Amino acid sequence: MQKFLGLIILLAVAAAAAFFMFGKDKISSISGGSSAPKGELVTVTGRAGSEKIAFLQSEKVTQLLAEQGLKVNVKKAGSVEMVQEAASDDDFLWPASQINVESFKTSTSRTRLQQSADIFNSPIVLYSWDIVTDALIKAGIVQHKEGVNYIVDLPKLLELVKTKKQWKEIGLTQLYGSLIIRTTDPSKSNSGNMFAALIANTLNNGEVVATDTVDNVLPQVKDLYARLGYMEQSSSDLFEKFLQQGVGAYPMIVGYENQLVEYSLLHKEHLELLKAKVRILYPVPTVWASHPLIAMTDKGKKLLAALKEPKLQKSAWEQHGFRSGLMGVENDPSVLEVVGLPKSIDAVIPMPNATVMNKITKQLSSF
């Protein structure tokens, strides 16, 4: 009798073990259970612009990518630099502009391109301070409309910079020296590169610079950049110095819209101070940074597909301030705590073509 009971118990244990090993997965698949991968995650290696590093390394994004069976090993690199030659172990490159993709197609690594697609969009903006913005509003350069600060007269602002107007001449007696807009190195970083394009278009009477007109504006673009002295090589480094050193050292800088959103979420203890002192200025028109991902391997293609998932796109906006690069996806500023964000970016001018941009970049690389 005891042997018989022991046999029943043994069979029951075996059945339970079999159910745990096989039945659980079956039920999970029927009921739409967790999509978390089984076994080891696939590591995808590559480089990305500094503005996307915090996104890729965040706990939420790491978790969402793991559900797709992926783990990302990423290094920071300037968008302009990274596309010139990909490392042999790169599965992907993630610059910040379609122009970077076009440059990659002419690089020594061009044969490795398998797929590319825009993932996010970020408008190029200027960051400034309350007192500077107020002075620019009085000068008719900036207009405050529906809670958003727009640079409605960029030609006038560039003229003040070009003619070395003093800050005190626009009512800012507490600031030393002449007006200046600090930007990243356009030969290494995309934000500096795109602002150079925006300057060139502005100086070309608001028309996109082409091969037959670029020589007319290049001397003025070079003159503006020559006054900047040392330029940071990444947008994140420039933004950090803007916040750390303040209005005296960095009255105005060029950056991406998402940077203030992301910083505010990561440093909520500074949120009220940021709301009181920091201003986002939207050039009218501006240019889009489209953040295309370049996939060079099958693993890179898997990452590209994963980044288009709705949950990742939602996290990109709500935790990092990246507007979606997908059709039909809306980005609601009201879910964010940062003030001064428009619901949509309506005034946009195209970038010059890759040939023109390469010429502009080459001319500015000597600084």
CB 126 within 8 A of CB 254: yes
Same domain, 222 and 157: yes
Question: Which pLDDT band, with edges at 50, 70 and 90, does 88 fall under?
Answer: confident
Same domain, 99 and 126: no
Same domain, 90 and 223: no
| Closest to 198 in 3D by CA, of 157, 166, 229 | 157
Same domain, 259 and 130: yes
Same domain, 200 and 111: no
What would the mean pLDDT of 212-241 be, rounded to a whole number?
93
Structure confidence by residue, pLDDT tens digits, 269-291: 999 999 999 999 999 999 999 89
Burial class (CB in 10 A: 0-12, 13-18, 19+), 3: exposed
- Quick check: 17 pLDDT over 50? no
One DSSP character per residue, 16-72 reads HHHIIIIIHHHHHHHHT---PPSSSPEEEEEEE-GGGHHHHHSHHHHHHHHHTTEEE
Position with higher pLDDT, 31 vs 113:
113
- Quick check: 9 pLDDT over 70? no
Structure tokens at 318: 């709500």
Same domain, 144 and 261: yes
One DSSP character per residue, 223-270 reads HHHHTT-S--SSHHHHHHHHHHHHHHH-SEEEEETHHHHHHHHH-GGG
Same domain, 177 and 130: yes
Same domain, 205 and 327: no
pLDDT score at 84: 85
Structure confidence by residue, pLDDT tens digits, 300-326: 999 999 999 999 999 999 999 999 866
Same domain, 159 and 173: yes
Q: What is the CATH number of the domain that holds 144?
A: 3.40.190.10
Residue 74 lies in a domain: yes
- Lookup result for tokens 């803007």: 242
- Quick check: 31 pLDDT over 70? no
Same domain, 296 and 283: no
- Quick check: 103 pLDDT over 80? yes
pLDDT score at 32: 34
The pTM score is: 0.83
pLDDT score at 13: 39
Residue 295, classed as helix, strand or coil, is: strand
- Spacing of C-alpha 249 from chain mean position: 24
Question: Which pLDDT band, with edges at 50, 70 and 90, does 332 fall under?
Answer: confident
Residue 51 lies in a domain: yes
Structure tokens at 136: 């620019």
When the pLDDT of each residue in the chain is averaged and rounded to a whole number, the result is 87
Radius of gyration of the chain (CA): 25
- Quick check: 12 pLDDT over 90? no
For CA atoms 245, 247, 252, 258, the dihedral sign is positive
d(CA 52, CA 191): 13
One DSSP character per residue, 121-151 reads EEEEEEEEEHHHHHHHHHTTSEEEETTEEEE
pLDDT score at 168: 97
Domain of residue 71, residue span = 42-121+290-332
Which segment of 26-30, 117-121, 179-183, 319-323 scores lowest on mean pLDDT? Answer: 26-30
d(CA 318, CA 165): 39
- Count of all residues that appear for the chain in the document: 367
pLDDT score at 1: 42
Same domain, 228 and 312: no
Residue 35 lies in a domain: no
